[in-house]
Amino acid sequence: MFKLSFKTILLSSTLLAASFVSYAENMHSAWNKLVNQNVVAINNGHSTAVNYVAMQAQHSELTTYLKMLSAVSQNEFDGSGKTKQLAFLINAYNAWTVELIVTNLSEDGSGLKSIKDLGGFFSSPWSKKFIPLLGETLSLDNIEHDLIRGAIDDKSESKYNDPRIHFAVNCASIGCPALRAEAYTAAQLESQLEDQTIRFLSDTTRNIAEGNLLSVSSIFKWYGDDFEKTFRNGHTLQQFFLQYPEALKLTATQKEALQIGEMKIKFLDYNWNLNAHH
């Protein structure tokens, strides 16, 4: 009987692991191409609009990418590093959000004014379970709240503990931080998240410091706890903002007022209209 040597088995398993690493590194290139072609910078670069009609015409390419994501097993995911996992999950969230829009859009792009229109009377589009991922059928809420934001063993700290993800995941609305025109990757994730954060905070249509009042996006109200979980040793929303004084265009007086808790924070209304480019 033919027997495989231990060395042969070891080599085979090493090659298999290496091939998966290579596959994982190149996996997001399809998404990178789609967003590069169909995401347009607007609002002086602070926001983006998506050409969903063009995305619809390239639906086969989007479907191929989604199938690649679905093919990743839980074991393969668990075996990759946190940075690679987080890039994977952000791309997955954004790609399936686009999938939800393009599969509910008429060919000329009319008829859908907001992602909220895709929800039912008792449900939201984010709770719809239509995503085959990591061996389960998930919703967008599952990806964002359970996988990305979820706590470790019911502890208060999340697995990734990075509030900047809120400037990376995109909910197909004008009020959202920009859908990035490139895929997130493990190698670039830190710089990408930082760039997205500054890009959003420096938008004076959504975050405005005037006198003793700092008016900010409702994102900071909905996910306030995420900005208070010791990110860069900060424990309050004010301390998070103080990490980005230049982006928020804070004066020295405003910085001091924010530090001592004397600057009022107001949360602005959110624009849920579709972030479509026509």
Q: Domain extents for the chain?
A: 23-202
Nearest to 97 by CA among 3, 18, 179, 207: 179
Structure-model confidence comparison of residues 230 and 268, the more confident one: 268
Higher pLDDT, 275 or 18: 275
Residue 68 has pLDDT above 60, yes or no: yes
Q: How far apart are the C-alpha atoms of 228 and 125, rounded to whole Å?
A: 28
119 — pLDDT class (breaks 50, 70, 90): confident
Average pLDDT (71-81) is: 94
pLDDT in tens, 231-272: 888 889 999 999 999 999 999 999 999 999 999 999 999 999
The chain-wide mean pLDDT, for the chain, equals 88
| The pLDDT of residue 9 is above 50 | no
Q: Is residue 156 pLDDT above 70, yes or no? A: no
Specify the pLDDT at position 264: 96
pTM to 2 decimal places: 0.89
Tokens representing 43 are 């609002």
pLDDT digits (tens, 9 = 90+) for 77-110: 999 999 999 999 999 999 999 999 999 988 776 7
pLDDT band at 15, cuts 50/70/90? very low
Distance in angstroms (rounded) separating the CA atoms of residues 169 and 185: 14
